[in-house]
Amino acid sequence: MKKSTEAAVGRKRDHTLNTRIIEAALDTLAETGFEGMTMDAVATRAKTGKASVYRRWASKAELVRDALIQMSKGSVETEQLPDKGCLRDDLLALLKPYPAGYGERKIKVMSGLGRFFTEHQDLAEEVMQGVFVPWSAANRQLMERAMARGEISAAADIETACQVIVAVTACRTQAQYGRLITRDLTTVIDNLILPALMHPTNVA
C-alpha cells in the first residue's frame, strides 16, 4: 500500500542507520544478554534516539530477531564450507571464520538469549531456522564428507558429535560455566570428538 509510493516528499530515511542500530543491538546483546539490553542503551550506542529505533522496529523483540538473523547471514556459509583436507581443521575453521573477536561476539550473543526464547516463541522459531539449523548442518556436512573419504569410521554417531559441539560452544563462554568448562574447542575436538568418531565402539 505504501511501499510503492512512500516518501514522495520530505527528508529521506538514513539507511545506514538501520545497520548502525543492528550493530549496536548485537554489541549490547553480547555484553548484557537479552534482559540486560535496554532500548535506551541501543539507541545511545547507535548515536541516535529511541524514536528512530521505534520508527524502524515495532518492538525490542523484533529488533532482536532481525539482529540475530542479520548476524547469521553469511556467518556459516553452507555453500562455501572450509576444505582443509582433514576433519579437524575443517571443524576448527568453521568456528573461526572471522578475524579477531567477531566469532566471540556471536557466541556471547547466543548465550544471553534465554528469556528471549521462552517469551517470544514465535520469533524464536524464525531465529532457530536462521541460525542454529545452518550451523549444525554445516558441522554435519563436514563430518559426512570425512566419513565418505574414510577418515572416520562408518559407524560413527555423527549427529551426537555435532550436537555436542554446538552445546559446548554455547556453554563455554557463559560466565556461569567459565570456571568448569576451561577446555577450549580445540581440546574438545582433538581429545573427544575425533577419537569417538574414529573408534565408535562402545561397551553395550
Partner DNA sequence: TAATTACGAAACCCTTGAGTTTCGAAATAT
Partner DNA sequence: ATATTTCGAAACTCAAGGGTTTCGTAATTA
The CB-of-16 to DNA minimum distance in angstroms stands at: 9
**Is there binding between residue 172 and a copy of itself (CB under 8 A)?**
yes
Amino acid residing at 103: G
CA–CA separation, 46 and 49 (whole Å): 8
CA–CA separation, 143 and 151 (whole Å): 9
Which partner, a copy of itself, DNA, none, binds residue 193 by CB below 5 to 8 Å per kind? a copy of itself
- Total binding residues for DNA by CB under 7 A? 28
Q: Is 161 exposed, middle or buried (0-12, 13-18, 19+ CB in 10 A)?
A: buried
Whether residue 87 contacts residue 143, with contact meaning beta carbons closer than 8 Å, is answered with yes
- One character per residue 110-139, x = contact with a copy of itself (rule: CB under 8 A): -xxxxx-xx-----x---x---x---x---
Q: How far, rounded to the nearest angstrom, does the alpha carbon of residue 6 sit from its chain's CA centroid?
A: 34
Which listed residue (20, 45, 56, 88) binds a copy of itself by CB under 8 A? 88
Which partner, a copy of itself, DNA, none, binds residue 202 by CB below 5 to 8 Å per kind? a copy of itself
Which listed residue (36, 49, 74, 85) binds a copy of itself by CB under 8 A? 36
Write the Ramachandran bin of 153: left for phi over 0, alpha for psi from -120 to 50, otherwise beta: beta
Backbone angles phi, psi at 98, to 5 degrees: -125, 155
- One character per residue 8-27, x = contact with DNA (rule: CB under 7 A): xxxxxxx--x----------
CA–CA separation, 150 and 186 (whole Å): 22
**Is there binding between residue 30 and DNA (CB under 7 A)?**
no
Footprint of a copy of itself on this chain (CB under 8 A)?
A: 33, 35-36, 86, 88, 111-115, 117-118, 124, 128, 132, 136, 157, 159-161, 163-164, 166-168, 170-172, 174-177, 179-183, 187-188, 190-196, 198-204
